[in-house]
Structure 1
């Protein structure tokens, strides 16, 4: 299930899309220091869907009337939303860097639609290729901090409609049935849920090196 859609603060204001061109950002930093160490944070880990597909799918989701779409970058979940102590961020980033270091780029192909109804009101674009890579990453990410246990069996997907009327959900399922896109996965991102209800990338983790990068500003 795509629990990124269950926000814990105010409604989304503003948006964030996938990375332009689908490649990693240029600047690099280390996975240490610079953290505020007080309070709690809500984080998630995901593979961002690169542009133009990321922005395209976000706009499609908005067109179906999904009010959360503008605050959720298009993604494939690896770690669902997790509330952590801010002091844990350093250890989490070090773990994610190690996971990325052990991986290599792989291909994802999106094709067709699926749904979790009636268990959960979600319509999604399905993965026709790349599910094994996503499942492997998911297991590695969950093996370290914050150590969340999955609520449901892992099923990588890209949400295009959530908690809408049956009519809107049916429309999303039918209209996206022929959707197709393919791209190379370069790594994954750590996201943080803001007080304004928007999910924003905090760090990017590049496959093969474990390099940690500060994500560029991403518009709607």
Structure 2
């Protein structure tokens, strides 16, 4: 089965992103982005047998428990021209560090079929991707360039998502301890 690991946005942000995804469906017949909740991908999709799921959950649980929550800022929109439009994630060192550490620990374990990502990490929240045509891109991009958007949320969990054949479902989320709750009293 296909899995990926992400930070899923809070429901208020997910609902706003869903409105934009539905706009893309109505205006440009873009459906692909509707198949997952609003999220920032940490580890892109990989094939893994369901029999390895519990081991992955255990690994993510212990990884997340050793991290501290942090703030993520979303501001306006950007694009990977000519096919992808997304909510822009402002530069964020804790997010980059979390992703690097997660990739490193999964690769080092050699128990999971995760590959080293060659492309630079470019965190984003997708509105439309591979089913946005090159012909429709300029009009869609013009629409999103005219919208001002800002939101901030706390990254307080890492989620494992699994493709069920139709959509991506959250299998489990693993809390990132906030700095004050990780202290022993």
TM-score by length of 2: 0.80
Q: Which runs of 5+ in 2 are unaligned?
A: 107-111, 179-185
- 1:162 is aligned to 129
Give me the TM-score of the superposition, normalised by structure 1: 0.68
1:167 CA drift (Å)? 5.2
Would you say 1:124 and 2:92 are equivalent positions?
A: no
Structure 1 residue aligned with 2:68: 104
User: What SS does structure 1 have at the residue aligned with 2:10?
Assistant: coil
Q: Does 1:192 align with 2:174?
A: no
Q: Does 1:44 align with 2:44?
A: no
Match of 1:136 in 2: 97
Aligned length, in residue pairs: 165
Query: How large is the Cα RMSD of the aligned pairs?
Result: 1.9
Corresponding residue number in structure 2 for 1:59? 19
Which whole-Å deviations, capped at 9, do the CAs of 1:59-81 have from their partners, x for residues lacking one? 21121122123311110001111
Q: Does 1:204 align with 2:173?
A: yes
Runs of 5+ consecutive residues of structure 1 not aligned to the other structure: 1-40, 210-220
Q: Which runs of 4+ in 1 moved over 4 A?
A: none
Give the conservation status (yes or no) of the 8 Å contact 2:3–2:47.
yes
Write out per-residue CA displacement over residues 23-78 of structure 1, whole angstroms, 9 at most, x where no aligned residue: xxxxxxxxxxxxxxxxxx21111111112111210221121122123311110001
Indicate if the aligned counterparts of 2:33 and 2:129 stay in contact, CA closer than 8 A.
Answer: no
Which structure carries more helix by proportion? 2
Distance between the aligned counterparts of 2:75 and 2:139, measured in 1?
A: 17
Contact kept in structure 1, 2:156 and 2:177, CA below 8 Å: no
